[in-house]
Amino acid sequence: MSDAIWRVMNVGNESFAVTVACRIAEFAPKQVSYAGSARCGRREGQKKVSSKLFDSRPPSYNASWTNAEQGISNVMYQDIGRTIYLQARKELENIELQGTGLDSVDVEQAQAWTLIAFYEIIRAYYRRAWMSIGRASRLLQLMGLHSIDNEGEFIEGNGRSLRNDIETEEQRRTFWMAYCLDRLVGIRNNWPLAFNELVICTRLPASETDFQNGEPGFGGFLSEAISTDSEDNIPAFNELIIFVTICARCLSHKQQTAIEPLYGGATQDFWDRHEWLHALLIRKLGRISRMLSSSPIIMDPMRLFAIMVAYTALIYLHNIANFSPSESVNQLSMPAYEEEARVAALEIVKLAQNVDELSIFKVHPLSPFPMYHAADFLSRHCSSAVSYVSEIQKLVAVLQSLKPVSDLAGHYLQLLKSFSPSVQTVEAGI
């Protein structure tokens, strides 16, 4: 955990500190900054990486980073959170304006913009979030964090890589956090992506336990993680990265389908891509299904969200085929795709019950996203013969319970009510 977060957590009343701890420390710091014992002095000899960097920054820079961390945590404290958020944005913009354009870029600046974007997403400020993610993405690319491990494997005599240190692992996690947000916002709005997957050469994060202990191992590369079917326990954050990547590939497939007719693309091109993505997703979901059969109760918020994203990808892939030109789609396969999407939506309903068991401060802030897609699919497929009112009611109830701390939940409830009479009926009955 960064020094700035410790400062925030030690300021103000207890409920404010708990909010900060749950909404930031549970998610963003684990992905963005070193939360190990170097901050607490529990292990001698560990480098105080972030404190050294913070000490070298001007006061306005430290203030903007602190404000960014504070702002993201305060969905419950809307007025306070918005004030801090606006101040953080202003200070970050001032840093950019005061620079010469030739100044070096520090990872904390990208981290701050990433947290700003995260706050904007959970407040449903999608356009602003997309712009903030763009800023963070360009800063990360300027620093080369999309290609940290492109220098080859430099192995010392003890077998450890020269890039196997806390500071490098912090940079990897910063990159992958921004990468996930970029993908999730792009999928939600059908917007272009900032990161080209084909040029990424940064290893996936090490296990959370090793990172927290200040002894990061090596994660694999994204291409390896997607192409292999290991039954090993994959870190929750890495699981999310894998399924967000598959979702983003579906997005690229959808966008390519829209422009293909202009360039003379063949119908078979669409179908080849679609079947390849479908096969990849089904293969990855097989491992998830086996895991859920042995352990149906998931209390890790990050892993729970990652699995819901996995099932959302199957719904998303069905929607792409369903709304594509009829000549592009193998109509014989559509019933099977629809059935798989139906099963995926029902799995999200089951997982949402796990969400409901968590403290509202521990629920992943982006959990309303997959729940919305499941409720949307089920509401569109209600008929006189088949009704999913009970399942929709469960999803709406969970979204309602999250509304006090999640603008995103309220936003998705409004979207559902705007085009789905069944959701209006369900909500009225809760």
Q: In angstroms, rounded to a whole number, what is the distance separating the alpha carbons of residues 250 and 344? A: 16
Residue that the structure tokens 């119908």 belong to: 267
Residue 105 contacts residue 136 (beta carbons within 8 Å): no
Domain ranges of the chain: 3-151+159-220, 226-429
DSSP string for 248-309: HHHHHHHHHHHHGGGGT--HHHHHHHHHHHHHHHHHHHHHHHHHHHH------HHHHHHHHH
pLDDT, position 17: 31
Judged by DSSP in three states, 387 sits in coil
CATH fold group of domain 226-429: Delta-Endotoxin; domain 1 (1.20.190)
DSSP string for 21-79: IIIIITSHHHHHS--STTTTT-STT---HHHHHHHTS-HHHHHHHHHHHHHHT-SSSHH
Judged by DSSP in three states, 19 sits in helix
Q: 169, 162, 75, 57: which is closest to 122 by C-alpha?
A: 75
Q: In angstroms, rounded to a whole number, what is the distance separating the alpha carbons of residues 233 and 244? A: 18
| Tokens standing for residue 73 | 């945590």
pLDDT, position 328: 54
pLDDT, position 265: 67
| Tokens standing for residue 250 | 């579906």
pLDDT, position 327: 59
Residue 237 contacts residue 302 (beta carbons within 8 Å): yes
Residue 384: what are its φ and ψ, rounded to 5°?
A: -65, -25
**Amino acid identity, position 194:** A
Q: In angstroms, rounded to a whole number, what is the distance separating the alpha carbons of residues 279 and 229? A: 13
Q: How many residues does the chain have?
A: 430
Beta-bridge mates of residue 161: 155
Residue 178 contacts residue 138 (beta carbons within 8 Å): no
pLDDT, position 233: 82
- Helices and strands (H and E) in the chain: how many: 19, 0
Residue 8: what are its φ and ψ, rounded to 5°?
A: -65, -45
- Show Cβ contacts of residue 319 under 8 Å, excluding neighbours closer than 6 positions: 341, 377
Q: Which residues of the chain are under the pLDDT cut of 70?
A: 1-78, 100-103, 151-164, 216, 265-267, 325-332, 383-385, 419-430
Tell me, what DSSP letter sits at residue 198? G
Residue 369 contacts residue 305 (beta carbons within 8 Å): no
Residue 199 contacts residue 57 (beta carbons within 8 Å): no
Helix ranges restricted to H, 295-380: 301-322, 334-357, 368-380
pLDDT, position 115: 92
Residue 253 contacts residue 186 (beta carbons within 8 Å): no
pLDDT, position 95: 85
pLDDT, position 179: 97
